[in-house]
Amino acid sequence: MLSRSAERLYWLARYLERTENIARLVSVHMNLLMDLPMGVEMGWRQLILINASEQAFHEKNNVANERNITRFLLADASYPGSLFSSLTAARENIRTSREILPDKAWEQVNEMYLYAKNNLDTVANRRQRVLFLNEILKGCQRFTGLLSGYMSHNAPYRFIRLGRNIERADMTSRILDLASLLLSESRSEELRQYETILWMNILKALHALLMYRQQMHSRVKGDDVLNFLLLD
């Protein structure tokens, strides 16, 4: 297997995993804000912190509100870490690797890209944003299932798994780092009253709540969540 082919597959997997991670983060954060009582300090800025993109965001936006942050993270084609930029990069990597992957793989990613491109303007509306994110998440899952079921589990497949798992580990560490920071700061005393809600939403953001419950057989607790996500 040529090194350039391995590199393209590796980055294809990382960019698609990043696309899914951003979609799930925004979706889960919307639900978290609805779960918390009015007045609890938990705005949208945390999503910028998770992605280490404060400087890039403030170069283009004066106000860190829901509209600006979601547009920046989901639809800003000039920001390399946005959902649309990640999906665009994934599409380019799979376009140049079509001979290695199942026939339907290119179609799946291209359809997802075209859907995102044609619906970027909808992310400002909360209801339309939910539909947009759900469609992206389903598309990413369909692609993962397609590779798992129809691609030989050989060297190319292992490079895809490598890229996906490295990206997932990176996002997991970022989310846990921010959660620990929020719950340890003195200004978050009120938020710590709702610690269980926060940890539950972290598990949801990582698509791990059901597996956590099956494994731990107990209510959601911070120490158990950390052990499960880092060591299990």
Kindly state the tokens that stand for 116: 């995102």
- Secondary structure (H, E, C), 172-221: HHHHHHHHHHHHHCHHHHHHHCCHHHHHHHHHHHCCCHHHHHHHHCCCCC
Average pLDDT, the chain: 89
Q: What is the pLDDT of residue 109?
A: 97
196, amino acid identity:
T
Question: What's the whole-number mean pLDDT along residues 83-103?
Answer: 95
> For residue 121, which of 79, 85, 57, 75 has the smallest C-alpha distance?
75
How far is it, in rounded angstroms, from Cα 120 to Cα 14? Answer: 22
Q: CB of 182 within 8 A of CB of 43?
A: no
Residues 16-72 have pLDDT tens digits of 999 999 999 999 888 888 877 766 666 788 889 888 899 999 999 999 899 999 999
Q: Is the pLDDT of residue 117 over 80?
A: yes
- How far separated are the first and last CA of the chain, in Å rounded? 32
At 37 the three-state DSSP class reads coil
- Cβ-in-10-Å burial (0-12, 13-18, 19+) of 93 comes to buried
Q: Are 5 and 22 in contact (CB under 8 A)?
A: no
What is the C-alpha separation between 106 and 142, in angstroms, rounded? 12
**pLDDT one-digit tens code per residue, 175-223:** 888 777 667 655 556 666 778 888 888 888 888 999 999 998 888 888 8
Using the predicted structure, report yes or no on whether residue 169 has a pLDDT greater than 80: yes
pTM for the full predicted model: 0.89
Q: Is 62 exposed, middle or buried (0-12, 13-18, 19+ CB in 10 A)?
A: exposed
Q: What are the distances in angstroms from CA 114 to CA 14, 72, 87, 109, 128?
A: 19, 19, 10, 9, 17
Predicted pLDDT of residue 44: 87
CA distance 85 to 95: 15
